[in-house]
Structure 1
Amino acid sequence: MNTFPSIRIEGGIFSPDLLDQLLAAELPGQKASDFGLPSSRRLTDEIAALFADASQLWEVFQHRLERLPDTDVGTSVTRDSWMLPFLALLGYELRYNPRAYEVDGLTFAVSHRAGEDEEAPPIHIVGYRQELGRLAPTGRPRLAPHSLVQEYLNRTDHVWGIVTNGKTLRLLRDSTNVRKQAYVEFDLQAMIEERRFQDFAALYRLLHRTRLPRGMADAPDCLLEKYFQHSLEQGGRVRDRLRDGVEECIKILANGFLRHPENTELRNRAASSEQPAAS
């Protein structure tokens, strides 16, 4: 059973139990003060209030979306009525990028960044009716929204970024040395409409602005990177335990074969192979 039905961790970017560890406050940065709140404030109360606010924003957004013609992908209404205020609930003060970034002779039209600093993490917002994994039908974009942010991360010193169409939000990491896509996907529609508070609490604890770096320089020390490294170490320990378990199983099977009454010849061969060679 999936504990967090509206959240999907793809490509091993985080360990499967990271979300449970976040909710249990077993990882660094999970006190109220770590989110910029008064230490006397109960974090669960804050998250519950924000979930109520997000639900109201979603309802207004859906009403406005319904009024759009079918040919409108909804970029403006998605941005202004939903994603900007929603991300503000998570501590973001987005800045619009008036010009595309230029890297290695290529342009990356990432819509926003996560703060005033020019090196703040990239956040790309597209219309609700634009799929993250497909090229937009108009505008002749070079890359699909997800690929745009991923390639930008891979070609710069940015480590973390966000791409969203308002329905789905993905947290991406630089994957220069990874062959397959790796990201965390939040199904915002299911989270809000199905009242999945636990999923929203996990989103808040993982995606709040204080989790991301301020810019490129502090990216190795941000909380997201610490969670990523924690997952790598945890995965390494799991693999070590699996390897030890496999070795033990092989030994048990081998000893079982050797002890079988009909395997006298096998025992003799094993015994002779253990004899030291004559000098």
Structure 2
Amino acid sequence: MCRHLAFLGPAERLGRLLVEPEHGLYRQSWAPRRQRYGTVNADGFGVGWYAEEDPVPARYRRAGPIWGDPAFADLARVVRSRAVLAAVRSATVPGPDGEAAAAPFTADRWLFSHNGAVSGWPRTAAPLVRTLPAADLLSLQAQCDAAFVWALVLHRLRRGDDPGRALADTVLEIDEAAPGSRLNLLLTDGETITATTWGDTLWYLAWPGRLPRGPGSARPEGTGIVVASEPYDDDPRWREVPDLTLLAADRTEVLLTPLKDLRTDLASAPSEEPCT
């Protein structure tokens, strides 16, 4: 499993979100507190962020551990953003993808991360391949299961599904083809955060919950939210998202919907014709 985090709020340095918290994503790369599968997240990391007046996110990824990259430490010290998605990747079997397998994945205005695993990958993905156009399969960003999950989500987004429906339908479809999969998905367009819990932990801290700051620093103005695999500190205002839930949030509100309710909706919807 991996650890990931998304943030919407007042412009904040990447370091204050990811590095400086006592139990932030940086520390979670070697000492996560609530990770259910795996113990070290050292096979790559990435961070994506949005600059003012530009809807297309920037991204920085590497194949090695986050603690071993001095360039990231320098970048995190100065880069500020009102919207961020970052992830550290669990140690896994060797593969050819390198940093291409590290989240966040991106296309258009979206950033995406998958915390989990597709059970029986890649054999169990065979029934899902027919739902994707050939061009999408040939342009997968990596050969890992997370890149394939992103392709399924992105296909739905580009055909016009809203983010919640795109994530929920993808999770339910994969679970049917590969039971036992762990599918905590995290998606942002810089204005909203959408996430699922399916087999691992997810928490959120709604603004004006505090971000970690040095002595004498003022609390930032505005509203916002942090959504993360686990809390970056021991603030009692963190709230755990129940398993099998869809989270949809913006800077002012959070909506939680049981995925079992959406399963009923999906079962009653007309089936999609396969792509050719």
TM-score by length of 2: 0.29
Greater strand proportion: 2
Greater helix proportion: 1
Question: For the pair shown, which has the larger CA radius of gyration, 1 or 2?
Answer: 1
TM-score by length of 1: 0.29
